[in-house]
Structure 1
């Protein structure tokens, strides 16, 4: 996802706190907040539709277009209106650079060329012996001929039904797919008119590295924003670069940093850090068999959560799962 619940919480707090001193920056932050609010739900839905046939007009294509559009607009807001004005804000600077990396992460997931494969070798195909429903233009009624009881989708009577709108161009009208003998141009993936299709992995990697450097410089080891940067960076390494061992090492090192941190935190920040540490604990075991998960841990995931120290005490607290559909 472009942003976790922790990022959204801090973003809203920063925007509200600087309204009086810096109204222009606060306005841009509220716009980014609204962008992420609209985007988050679509990213969650799109996880199940990530493998799609871009040559067909499907709901997933429309969803992808919307995700790419929101990501593009979020990048414009960040790069033109937010990043130039956050040099004197430590935490806000870390969050702004992290969100920029998150938007490029979405480009990699949904609009990269070559496409990113989350599970190598997995492809959707029609099993042998079966015919795709889209290839059936005529519905047969158990060998009794064409079913003429009710006009079905794709039946000849519907395909050649005369229209009240007369064609004004030689290539308009006629059967579905154009005039016979006319070769159709190749279909281009719809979001290409929004942003060019290219390999965004190097750009996203650089953005995550910059955000990580800033987080380690300005924030202590158990700060929720620092953990948020590491969680999504580890997911990016695993899913997009297929650096799975490096991803597990980063998750393990981040948990060690949390337990070595001596700084205290309030109850709300502690709960946020506890949720992120629980996710990191599962990412540390990703791909290691029954103990690992096939996808980034998120809402509804089971298992014992590890929590960072608060006031010198180490104890587990039950906390709800945080949506993390990266």
Structure 2
């Protein structure tokens, strides 16, 4: 998520490439690199906590605010300064579209309404009782039993005697906004994130070869989005399986660094391909064996340069 180590490598590499001809674009890429490293650390910490405490202003809530703020600022920089200048830079265009989807992925995980993740700020926390609702100007709501005991046996002769008068039409009690609404609107971000992921995948398929590490990064995060946010478990596993098959079918050579990254991403995709199946198929009291995936058989070719 906004971004992987592969994305961070390409942010630095592409920033150096465009710096001689476009200092502004290079500056934005380097800023996005720093922001992405910071954001990755915060999201990793949030994943360890698994659930943020929304009952009071604790450190976890501050962590949530920081994640949303970083993702929002990164998206602004990306859409205002990077996307308009990607031009014909193939790898940079794929990376920019992928980061756009990745920032929305963070919005879905941490700030979606309705909540779709255990890390979301709107997720109910088991064991924490709801805060009693206060009736402004009339004290705390009392139970029906208490109301019955205090009610007069004489029938009211005037509307005011029947109890408190409700507010006029259109002036009902205001629904409190969820925490973080001051940073970002509390809406459903899944359709937007889904569309940006599809655009990034289509662009990566049309520009990059099957074993390109940036292409694998796009599909790895899309598979994670399908599983965690869309709850399309079968679709996520199928995407991971198809991506691994595409790696094996690729015949292009890679340098050592890209080969290493591709091997790691294939291993991650292999685990995602089996995700959720171990608990369904394994007998009670047993654990499924770890998934080990063979690395792609591409061999670096002497003198071969990236064609993009």
Same fold (TM over 0.5): yes
Three-state SS of the structure 2 residue aligned to 1:275 is: helix
Q: 1:226 aligns with which of 200, 208, 215?
A: 215
Cα deviation code 1:86-137 (max 9, x no counterpart)? 0210001000110110000000000000001359xx97433xxxxx79x9xx
The question of whether the paired residues in 1 share the 8 Å contact of 2:51 and 2:118 is answered with no
Q: 2:276 aligns with which of 269, 283, 287?
A: 287
Tell me if 1:125 matches 2:126.
Answer: yes
- CA–CA distance in structure 2, aligned partners of residues 50 and 194 of structure 1: 22
The question of whether the paired residues in 2 share the 8 Å contact of 1:237 and 1:243 is answered with yes
Instruction: Name the CA shift for 1:185/1:83 in 2 (closer, same or farther; >3 Å).
Output: same
Partner of 2:195: 206
Q: 2:296 aligns with which of 301, 304, 308?
A: 308
Which structure 1 segments of 5+ residues have no match? 127-131, 136-177, 294-300, 314-326
The question of whether the paired residues in 2 share the 8 Å contact of 1:55 and 1:188 is answered with no
- CA–CA distance in structure 1, aligned partners of residues 52 and 82 of structure 2: 34
- CA–CA distance in structure 1, aligned partners of residues 55 and 10 of structure 2: 40
After superposition, residues 162-177 of structure 1 pair within 5 angstroms as none
Alpha-carbon RMSD across the aligned residues, in angstroms, is: 3.0
Shift of 1:75: 0.4
TM (norm. structure 2) is 0.76
Partner of 2:76: 76
Tell me if 1:102 matches 2:93.
Answer: no
Shift of 1:311: 2.6
- CA–CA distance in structure 1, aligned partners of residues 270 and 235 of structure 2: 14
Task: Give the aligned length.
Answer: 257
Q: 1:215 aligns with which of 184, 187, 204?
A: 204
Partner of 1:158: none
Partner of 1:247: 236
Shift of 1:16: 1.3
Specify the structure having the higher radius of gyration (Cα): 2
- CA–CA distance in structure 1, aligned partners of residues 299 and 52 of structure 2: 49
- CA–CA distance in structure 1, aligned partners of residues 40 and 52 of structure 2: 20
Shift of 1:188: 3.6
- CA–CA distance in structure 2, aligned partners of residues 118 and 52 of structure 1: 8
Partner of 1:37: 37
The question of whether the paired residues in 2 share the 8 Å contact of 1:285 and 1:292 is answered with no
Three-state SS of the structure 2 residue aligned to 1:190 is: coil
- CA–CA distance in structure 2, aligned partners of residues 19 and 248 of structure 1: 39
Instruction: Name the CA shift for 1:180/1:41 in 2 (closer, same or farther; >3 Å).
Output: farther
